């Protein structure tokens, strides 16, 4: 199979930049927006985030079934969906513009708008993720695509950290900042989705054009690597999302160093760029499973450091955050390659190439993790008595922020790494079954 062009790899990364204009914005700032701008209580906001992500998980599964039922012999199974990426981007602008009405109506508006974003995002994001398995079967090429995806998402995360976070910390009009940001993202992100849809080519066709519900169910029953990966992913993403959602509170309220937010964004950029470049070689030497497990352990260690670091030792807290960033980047890169491997495993076991539902299940577990992560932070703030009107938080609130940013994520990512012990689809095993599949076609 021929090597992927640089344009197609760049186009795939552009797609996740557009994704991150929705998902990263929500992960980093939606809780802050709901509590500090819209005036929604922390507990109510946490319940909303969890409920929306549970709904989003079901939407992902439904989107996966839709994708598997598409006959993509003319335009491809996945690329046409990307042309509708402007819809969730526009809806996201509405999410960050809660009207100044009575509390009950505010909450209703928040539920409706964020729920619509989750639904529209699933219909675009699930086909986008499936493209990896359709573009190539080579482990290193998949690692390159996963690296490009990570860089694309990181570029938006860096923009949020370098540009948006300092504006929020300087006492500017937060509502105006969020409105301008989401409208700009709607325009730019639509162009990026279009680029991905046009430049990426599907080279690996399905074994049959349309897949029935029974065939999907049969393929899932025997796909133990997919089950293990999803179970690990929900724990890991919950921990990583809690770290991300709590970071602004941690830097501002615990360390009194919100100026470090851009620095943390810079380290995330540097770490991810480096890993994206070297990851194909590391994958070739150590394998994806080993990288995933080691990354999870690094994240657990980083979380413990964040929790225990004294407020007057910000350098130690920064070291913990950097370890968590290393964990998030390394695990994030290989996850997208691992899910593509499970597609071939399912095809090897059943003779049917099921792509949409495989990716949808992983995406669903990640959405659950993101919701649970945001909920962990929100409920911790409520438990600690956090108040957005106080310039200095009480000790119980500071302890709750520390736990949400460090202790709880550490426990979760350690557990996620441990579950990967039961992931048996090594790179060597995957190469053998791919060779068998190619010989039978």
What are the extents of the domains in the chain? 6-440
Query: Alpha carbon 137 to chain centroid distance?
Result: 23
The tens-digit pLDDT sequence of the chain (441 residues) is: 567 888 999 999 999 999 999 988 987 888 889 988 898 888 888 889 888 878 888 888 888 878 777 766 667 778 888 888 889 999 999 999 999 889 889 999 999 999 999 999 988 988 898 888 788 878 778 778 887 887 888 788 888 878 888 888 666 788 999 999 999 999 999 999 999 988 888 877 654 456 666 666 666 778 888 889 999 999 999 998 888 888 888 988 898 888 888 888 788 888 888 887 888 788 878 888 899 999 999 999 999 999 999 988 889 999 999 999 999 888 988 887 788 788 888 888 877 777 777 777 777 888 788 878 878 888 888 889 887 777 788 888 899 999 999 999 999 999 999 999 999 888 888 888 878 777 655
pLDDT at 69: 76
pLDDT at 377: 87
**Is the Cβ–Cβ distance between 307 and 243 less than 8 Å?**
no
**Is the Cβ–Cβ distance between 279 and 147 less than 8 Å?**
yes
Residue 3: exposure state from Cβ atoms within 10 A (0-12, 13-18, ≥19):
exposed
The CA-atom distances, in angstroms, between 24 and each of 185, 201, 299 are: 12, 26, 19
Token readout for 405 is: 């940013």
pLDDT at 164: 86
pLDDT at 91: 92
- Fold adopted by 6-440: Growth Hormone; Chain: A; (1.20.1250)
pLDDT at 144: 83
pLDDT at 109: 95
Q: Please give the model's pTM, rounded to 2 decimal places.
A: 0.70
Token readout for 210 is: 């349309």
Question: Residue 290: which residues within 8 A CB-CB, separation 6 or more?
Answer: none
pLDDT at 71: 67
């Amino acid at each position: 199979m021929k090597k992927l062009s640089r344009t197609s790899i760049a186009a795939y990364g552009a797609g996740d930049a557009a994704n991150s204009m929705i998902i990263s914005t929500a992960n980093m700032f939606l809780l802050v927006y709901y509590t500090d701008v819209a005036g929604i209580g922390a507990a109510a906001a946490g319940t909303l985030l969890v409920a929306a992500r549970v709904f989003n998980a079901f939407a992902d599964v439904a989107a996966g079934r839709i994708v598997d039922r598409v006959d993509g012999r003319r335009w491809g199974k996945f690329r046409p969906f990307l042309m509708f990426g402007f819809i969730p981007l526009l809806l996201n602008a509405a999410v960050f513009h809660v009207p100044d009405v009575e509390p009950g109506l505010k909450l209703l508006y928040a539920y409706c708008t964020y729920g619509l974003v989750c639904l529209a995002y699933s219909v675009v994001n699930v086909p986008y993720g499936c493209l990896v398995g359709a573009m190539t079967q080579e482990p290193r090429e998949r690692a390159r695509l996963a690296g490009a995806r990570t860089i694309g998402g990181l570029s938006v995360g860096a923009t949020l950290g370098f540009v948006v976070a300092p504006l929020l910390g300087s006492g500017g009009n937060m509502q105006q900042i969020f409105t301008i940001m989401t409208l700009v993202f709607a325009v730019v992100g639509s162009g990026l989705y279009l680029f991905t849809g046009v430049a990426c080519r599907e080279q690996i066709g399905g074994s049959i054009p349309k897949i029935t519900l029974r065939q999907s169910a049969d393929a899932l029953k025997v796909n133990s690597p997919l089950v293990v990966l999803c179970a690990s992913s929900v724990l890991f993403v919950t921990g990583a999302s809690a770290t991300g959602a709590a970071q602004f509170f941690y830097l501002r309220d615990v360390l009194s160093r919100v100026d470090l937010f851009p620095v943390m964004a810079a380290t995330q950029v540097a770490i991810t760029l480096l890993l994206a470049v070297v990851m194909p070689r590391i994958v070739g030497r150590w394998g994806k499973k080993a990288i995933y497990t080691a990354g999870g352990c690094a994240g657990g260690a980083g979380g413990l450091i964040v929790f225990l670091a004294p407020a007057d030792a910000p350098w130690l807290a920064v070291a913990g955050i950097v370890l968590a960033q290393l964990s998030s980047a390394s695990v994030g890169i290989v996850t997208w390659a691992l899910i593509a491997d499970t597609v071939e495993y399912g095809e090897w076991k059943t003779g049917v190439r099921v792509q949409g539902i495989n990716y949808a299940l992983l995406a669903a577990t990640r959405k659950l993790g993101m919701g649970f992560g945001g909920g962990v932070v929100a409920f911790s703030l409520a438990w600690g008595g956090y108040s957005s009107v106080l310039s200095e938080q009480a000790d119980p609130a500071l302890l709750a922020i520390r736990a949400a940013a460090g202790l709880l994520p550490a426990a979760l990512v350690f557990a996620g790494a441990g579950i990967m012990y039961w992931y048996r689809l090594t790179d060597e095993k995957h190469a053998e079954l791919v060779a068998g599949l190619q010989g039978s076609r």
